[in-house]
Amino acid sequence: MSTLSEEKVFRDPIHGYVRVQDKVVWDCIQTREFQRLRRVKQLGSTSMVYHTSEHTRFAHSLGVYEIARRMINEVEDISRTLTEYEKITVKLAALLHDVGHAPFSHSFEAIMNSDHELYTIQIIKEESEVNKVLKEYKDTLPTDVASVINGTHPNKILCQMVSSQLDADRMDYLLRDSYFSGTKYGEFDLERILRTMRVADDKLTIKASGTHTIEDYIMARYHMYWQVYYHPVSRSYDTLLQKVFKRLFDLYKQDKGIALKLPMFKQLLEKKQLSNEEMYLLDDSACFYSFNLMSQIDDQILADLAKRVLNRNLFKYTSVDKKEEIEQRCLEKGYDLRYYFHQDYQSQNPYKPYSGKSQCIWVLEEDGSIKELSTVSTIVSSLSQNDSYEDEKIFFPKEVL
């Protein structure tokens, strides 16, 4: 049977309740791979700036599912257009889109051998509890869920719902990250967006009367990037994490023995693709426990960097035009620039007009024509033509000042 005898709910400050009616969704949530997301924070480094941003990928994943579920139930065009099987497929894709995520948001991927999408697909399609639950529902379900997540599903509406510039994923994280950080920058009018969604010409579109609401959403993204995600303190913490792992990998090249002291990273050090079992064990607690171990290790640089991570003894930052002066000071104080100096460039475009049919935001005019958002919004057009939303900084120990 595919429907639960009674709707199950999760209390959620963003959505009131996350509502589960399908048995296969409920069973996916109970799997060990999905429960692992309780131990992976949504925003690894942001909690160094906004200290209450402690929420997990578990909560976010439920939220993305809930927005997808509401699109299906409340947007009449979607409700009518999709088959029952497509509805289940897209709800599960929303739920599972982050199931292969490593700790520390995207900054960990730099040191892993591949990105989180690859592991997500691996968990869905290869041996795992998630895979078992999906196959029990229907043999083709793992493949179809995976194809929505990597954007290759033939029905582009499903892809737009889960992965586009106006998808359930972005909509949940902007609202959620705002709520838990205690800022208001990411708030926008989700209710109105749901009310103005239409399907036209096989695309998900927004009625022209909702254009201002979408402009507000684009601006919310813009502000969250600069005020939260790309905040220099957050980037400073990311820098430290990367330096810790750079030092660890460099030490491993000289002496394989270090892997015995840090068993949680054995496969990573060996540059192997992790199995689903190994991925299951890689969570925030493994990382933080490893930092505790590293802080007691007999390599001075690794121990120092690990302590900095644990005790929030972050690098300072300044404008890139002081690069030479700061490098010089670091050298004078005996800091190894490979581990104690970093130049970081970030740029962000709040909306990309030329990102393809399943990525763009489409506006449905009253006369039935469909236009790409930046052609009807002066503000979005201004925003997307400009490429100066960027920032470059250098990071270094405060002890050099």
Does 281 bind its own copies (CB under 8 A)? Our answer is yes
The residue (of 13 and 356) whose beta carbon lies closer to its own copies is: 13
Quote the DSSP letter at residue 107: G
Does 237 bind its own copies (CB under 8 A)? Our answer is no
Among 208, 286, 297, 320, binds its own copies (CB under 8 A): 286
Does 289 bind its own copies (CB under 8 A)? Our answer is yes
The residue (of 159 and 193) whose beta carbon lies closer to its own copies is: 193
CA gap 280, 70 in Å, rounded = 30
Q: Nearest-5° angle of CA 69, CA 71, CA 73?
A: 70
CA gap 262, 281 in Å, rounded = 13
CA gap 60, 42 in Å, rounded = 7
Does 401 bind its own copies (CB under 8 A)? Our answer is no
Look at residues 249, 170, 269, 251 and name the one whose alpha carbon lies nearest to residue 214.
170
Does 32 bind its own copies (CB under 8 A)? Our answer is yes
The least distance separating its own copies from the CB of residue 296, rounded to whole angstroms, comes to 9
Please state whether beta strands 316-319 and 203-207 pair in parallel, antiparallel, or not at all (unpaired).
unpaired
Among 20, 50, 171, 237, binds its own copies (CB under 8 A): 50
- How many residues comprise the chain? 401
Does 389 bind its own copies (CB under 8 A)? Our answer is yes
Look at residues 263, 261, 269, 267 and name the one whose alpha carbon lies nearest to residue 296.
261
The residue (of 273 and 296) whose beta carbon lies closer to its own copies is: 296
Token readout for 395 is 């990071």
CA 132 to chain centre: 25
The least distance separating its own copies from the CB of residue 332, rounded to whole angstroms, comes to 25
The residue (of 147 and 239) whose beta carbon lies closer to its own copies is: 239
Per-residue interface string for the shown chain with its own copies, residues 62-101, x marking contact by CB under 8 A: x---------------------------------------
CA gap 300, 185 in Å, rounded = 41
Does 358 bind its own copies (CB under 8 A)? Our answer is no
Judged by CB under 8 A, the chain residues 167 through 226 that form the site for its own copies are 179-185, 187-189, 191, 195, 212-213, 215-216, 219, 222-223, 226
Rg of the chain taking only CA atoms, in angstroms: 23
CA gap 105, 68 in Å, rounded = 22
Going from the C-alpha of 36 to that of each of 8, 98, 141, 158, the distances in angstroms are: 20, 11, 22, 26
Per-residue interface string for the shown chain with its own copies, residues 304-343, x marking contact by CB under 8 A: ---x--xxxx------------------------------
Going from the C-alpha of 223 to that of each of 15, 295, 317, the distances in angstroms are: 22, 36, 21
Token readout for 342 is 């970093």
Which residues lie near its own copies (CB under 8 A)?
Answer: 9-14, 16-17, 30-32, 35-36, 38-39, 41, 47, 50-52, 54-56, 58-59, 62, 179-185, 187-189, 191, 195, 212-213, 215-216, 219, 222-223, 226-227, 264, 281, 283-289, 292, 307, 310-313, 378-379, 382-383, 386, 388-389
